[in-house]
């Protein structure tokens, strides 16, 4: 299955080890969320191609309290690729036709003669993605070009789309894992009845508050406090999608509903705007086929007693003409928080604006 939006897709066949085996006969992919295994020649790993891939997938994740990598990437020599490593959840193969080492030869053997001829003839072909190659719930990306210089250039030009592919596949896995035990009863029905939208909350979270403009669910564990909320306001203009407008709206909602201590009105949460290098990031995205803005930043209590990261999406429900602001935020000062934010992002992405025809735990 080939899926990589906005990139040139390759439609020729690869000689894959799994052949025509059915998906059911494959073992489950292994590894933890965010793990990435890069298979490429050792000389290229130590050169410009390895540098550009390492800097892309191990770049610092946006706006987290401490430095954390986007993915946990490990390099694998192709000659040492065994059955266990082939079963990891995220694999990247990188090869160029100008490299003549034994490692590069091993990787070129994955391609048919027809495939290699097409790579030589069309410099626009440089990437193919496939799922469930050696294991179920596995994502594999192949990066290739005639020369190393060409492939380095393509990766630099399309880096955000390459990382976005693995972000989407990780979110799909998170969705399956989070909702495997079921959902909170009544939340989706309440959201459909009162907002005319759909929102799935996994089992284990608890409802804190719900009214006509705000809904808040929460899961408190010994090591972390995970929160997701929905806020809505009538949609008036495109200006509401701007960074400053969304921060102002967020601050107003937090001051009204979110407190470090509910009995102390001056302990409300605010958006952190004064940490150098950790400024709030806003960018346009497509959210379930609708235009939206994604917001990432840090929050803190007004009294400086606590803080952490947040990630939000603002989208308009055209059927009701409301702007919905969906946010996940976490308090976990003693832990890395990138994977916690992946979980909250998955819950945020369960929201669907507009009427939903049917509902079930598996949807």
- Position 289 scores a pLDDT of 93
Tell me how long the chain is: 363
Identify whether residues 30 and 162 lie together within a single domain. Answer: yes
Angstrom distance (rounded) from CA 142 to CA 4: 11
Burial of 195 (0-12, 13-18, 19+ CB in 10 A): buried
Let me know whether 170 and 200 are in one domain: no
- Please check whether residue 78 is in contact with residue 106, taking contact to mean a CB–CB distance below 8 angstroms: yes
Average pLDDT over the chain reads 89
Please choose, from the candidates 74, 84, 49, 283, the residue with its C-alpha nearest in 3D space to the C-alpha of residue 164: 283
Residue 93: φ, ψ to 5°: -105, 130
Q: How confident is the model at residue 62 (pLDDT cuts 50, 70, 90)?
A: confident
Domain identity same for 133 and 247: no
Domain that holds residue 134: 23-178
What DSSP line would sit under 105-133, residue for residue? HHHHTTB-HHHHHHHHH-TT--EEEEESS
In this structure, the strands spanning 139-145 and 206-210 are unpaired
Examine the domain organization and report whether 148 and 29 are in the same domain: yes
The CATH number of residue 90's host domain is 3.40.50
Q: What is the DSSP letter of 196?
A: S
- 174 and 279 in a common domain: no
Domain shared by 257 and 289, yes or no: yes
Question: 341 Cβ partners below 8 Å, 6+ apart?
Answer: 64, 309, 311, 328, 330
Give residue 12's pLDDT. 43
Decide if 309 contacts 64 (C-beta within 8 A). Answer: yes
Q: Are residues 174 and 191 in the same domain?
A: no
Question: Three-class SS of residue 178?
Answer: helix
pLDDT for res 13: 44
Region for 167 from its dihedrals, namely left if φ exceeds 0, alpha if ψ lies in -120 to 50, beta otherwise: alpha
Among 145, 105, 100, 98, which Cα is nearest to 124's? 145
Q: Which of 178, 213, 236 marks a domain boundary?
A: 178
Q: Are 253 and 209 in contact (CB under 8 A)?
A: no
Give the model's pLDDT for residue 1.
35
Domain identity same for 86 and 125: yes
Query: How far are the Cα atoms of 14, 115, 128, 360 from residue 112, in angstroms, in the given order?
Result: 6, 5, 14, 44
Q: How many domains are contained in the chain? A: 2
Question: How far apart, in whole angstroms, are the C-alpha atoms of residue 363 and residue 361?
Answer: 6
pLDDT tens by residue, 338-356: 999 999 999 999 999 987 6
Residue 3 lies in a domain: no
Asked if residue 285 belongs to a domain, the reply is yes
Q: Is 162 a domain residue?
A: yes
Q: Please state whether beta strands 225-234 and 322-331 pair in parallel, antiparallel, or not at all (unpaired).
A: antiparallel
- 283/13: higher pLDDT: 283
Angle made by CA atoms 54, 176, 56, in degrees to the nearest 5: 10
Residues 6+ apart with CB under 8 A from 194: 210, 212
**pLDDT value of position 284:** 96
Model pLDDT for residues 214-265, shown as the tens digit of each residue: 999 999 998 999 999 999 999 999 999 999 999 999 999 999 999 877 777 7
The DSSP bridge pattern shows strands 322-331 and 307-317 to be antiparallel
Instruction: Determine the average pLDDT of the residues in 22-39.
Output: 89
Same domain, 332 and 227: yes
CA angle 346, 350, 89 (to 5 degrees): 40
Q: Give the model confidence (pLDDT) of 85-133 as tens digits.
A: 999 999 999 999 998 889 999 898 888 888 888 889 888 889 999 999 9
Domain contains 67: yes
271: domain CATH number is 3.40.1000.10
For residues 174 and 195, membership in a common domain is answered with no
Residues 192 and 167 reside in one and the same domain: no
Last residue of a domain, one of 159, 178, 197: 178
pTM of the model: 0.85
């Amino acid at each position: 299955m080939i899926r990589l939006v906005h990139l040139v897709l390759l439609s020729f066949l690869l000689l894959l080890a799994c052949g025509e085996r059915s998906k059911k006969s494959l073992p489950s992919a292994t590894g933890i969320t965010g793990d990435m295994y890069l298979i490429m020649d050792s000389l290229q790993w130590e050169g410009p191609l390895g540098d550009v891939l390492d800097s892309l997938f191990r770049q610092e994740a946006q706006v987290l309290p401490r430095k954390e990598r986007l993915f946990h990437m490990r390099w694998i020599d192709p000659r040492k690729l065994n059955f266990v490593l082939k079963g990891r959840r995220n694999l990247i193969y990188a090869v160029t036709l100008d490299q003549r080492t034994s490692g590069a030869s091993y990787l070129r053997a994955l391609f048919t003669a027809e495939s290699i001829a097409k790579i030589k003839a069309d410099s626009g072909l440089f990437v193919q993605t496939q799922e469930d190659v050696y294991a179920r719930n596995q994502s594999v990306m192949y990066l290739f070009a005639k020369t190393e210089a060409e492939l380095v250039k393509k990766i630099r030009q399309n880096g955000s789309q390459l990382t976005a592919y693995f972000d989407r596949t990780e979110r799909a896995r998170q969705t399956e894992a989070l909702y495997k035990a079921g959902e909170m009863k009544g939340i989706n029905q309440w959201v459909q009845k009162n907002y005319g939208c759909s929102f799935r909350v996994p089992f284990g979270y608890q409802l804190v508050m719900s009214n006509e403009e705000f809904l808040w669910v929460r899961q408190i564990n010994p090591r972390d406090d995970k929160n997701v909320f929905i806020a809505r306001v009538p949609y008036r203009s495109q200006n509401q999608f701007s960074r400053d407008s969304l921060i102002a709206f967020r601050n107003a909602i937090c001051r009204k509903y979110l407190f470090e201590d509910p009995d102390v009105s001056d302990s409300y949460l605010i958006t952190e705007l004064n940490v150098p290098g950790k400024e709030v990031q806003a960018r346009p995205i497509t959210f379930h086929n609708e235009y939206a803005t994604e917001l990432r930043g840090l929050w803190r209590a007004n009294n400086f007693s606590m803080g952490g990261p947040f990630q939000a999406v603002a989208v308009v429900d055209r059927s009701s003409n409301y702007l919905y602001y969906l946010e996940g935020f976490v308090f976990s000062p003693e832990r890395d928080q990138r994977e916690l934010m992946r979980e909250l992002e998955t819950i945020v992405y369960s929201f669907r604006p507009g009427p939903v025809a049917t509902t079930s735990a598996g949807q």
